[in-house]
Amino acid sequence: MDLTGKVAVVTGAARGLGKGIAEKLAELGAHVVISDMNEEGAEATKEEIITNGGRAEVFLCNVAVKEEAKRLVEETAQKHGRLDILVNNAGINRDSMLHKMDHGQWDAVLGVNLTGVFNTMKPASQIMREQEHGRIVNISSASWLGNVGQANYAAAKAGVVGLTKTAARELGKKNITVNAICPGFIDTDMTRGVPEKVWDIMVSKIPMGRAGKPEDVANCIAFLASDQASYINGELINVGGGMVL
């Protein structure tokens, strides 16, 4: 896979999956815009990429704020004359049982995990339509099928599936593919937040017997972003070691 000359935006790339995705795309030759609200983490990702011979820059952005997401996408395209790849990875969780979940938890998760994806996709789809080329990869989750304590998160991630498939239908004719990934249980700060007992239960449900690594997900995204995947559109791909079959 060769992404030389491609311009990619990765949201939530200061750590975890987003960092792994940004590193992989840069390793394959893309110029990567590392977007996050965490400046220190984003700068560290950038430094790592540059040290390894890649090309990267930081653009601070809260994807839940539509003006910020619009600026991220439009200013990137203006500066580089194109936007080839958009990876919507930024996400949060605010878990609680439904009867205890407050509207703050609901709004926060929907705001980042679903509206945040719309906020970048809207301007990106305009730009990609004009250039008649583009790759959008959205990060959903195996939880979209429903998960105890995650009504807000599952609803947002299911929303991402509907958004992805609709965009795939609308944009396909313009040579733009839109796909979604469902990571299973991946070893990041987000999952390290769960109690050890829950970690062991989660891993016991994975046929491959281990949590995933960010690069396991990044490899799949790199493929979807590449020319080799030019006829894969509107798919939802599980990357979870067989956790969901």
Residue positions in the annotated binding site for NADP(+)?
Answer: 12-15, 62-63, 89, 153-157, 186
User: Binding of ligand NAD at residue 238 (CB under 6 A)?
Assistant: no
User: Binding of ligand NAD at residue 188 (CB under 6 A)?
Assistant: yes
- Contact positions with ligand NAD (CB under 6 A) in 29-68: 36-38, 41, 61-64
Interatomic CA distance for residues 244 and 44, integer angstroms: 33
Catalytic residue selected from 59, 106, 153, 185: 153
User: Binding of ligand NAD at residue 90 (CB under 6 A)?
Assistant: yes
3-state class (DSSP) for residue 185: coil
User: Binding of ligand NAD at residue 237 (CB under 6 A)?
Assistant: no
The only residue of 120, 141, 150, 233 in contact with ligand NAD, by rule CB under 6 A: 141
Maximum CA pair distance of the chain? Answer: 50
**Contacts of residue 42, Cβ cutoff 8 Å, sequence gap at least 6:** 13, 14, 34, 35, 36, 58, 60
Of how many residues is the chain composed?
245
The only residue of 53, 100, 103, 189 in contact with ligand NAD, by rule CB under 6 A: 189
Strands (DSSP E) along the chain, which ranges?
A: 7-11, 31-36, 55-60, 85-88, 134-139, 176-183, 236-239
- Contact positions with ligand NAD (CB under 6 A) in 93-132: 112, 116
User: Binding of ligand NAD at residue 91 (CB under 6 A)?
Assistant: yes
3-state class (DSSP) for residue 187: coil
Q: Which residues are annotated as a binding site?
A: 12-15, 62-63, 89, 153-157, 186
Residue with tokens 């509207």: 103
Q: How many residues bind ligand NAD (CB under 6 A)?
A: 30
Q: Which is nearer to ligand NAD, 5 or 146 (CB)?
A: 146
The only residue of 3, 7, 10, 15 in contact with ligand NAD, by rule CB under 6 A: 15
Interatomic CA distance for residues 23 and 221, integer angstroms: 12
Two tokens, residue 117: 């994806």
CB 13 within 8 A of CB 36: yes
User: Binding of ligand NAD at residue 28 (CB under 6 A)?
Assistant: no
The only residue of 11, 152, 226, 233 in contact with ligand NAD, by rule CB under 6 A: 11
Amino acid letter, residue 2: D
Candidates 49-57, 71-79, 166-174, 181-189 — which segment interacts with ligand NAD by CB under 6 A? 181-189
User: Binding of ligand NAD at residue 179 (CB under 6 A)?
Assistant: no
Quick check: is 153 catalytic? yes
CB 3 within 8 A of CB 224: no
Interatomic CA distance for residues 231 and 10, integer angstroms: 22
Q: DSSP secondary structure string, 28-49?
A: TT-EEEEEES-HHHHHHHHHHH
Catalytic residues: 153
Binding site for ligand NAD (CB under 6 A): 11-12, 14-18, 36-38, 41, 61-64, 89-92, 112, 116, 139, 141, 183, 185-186, 188-191
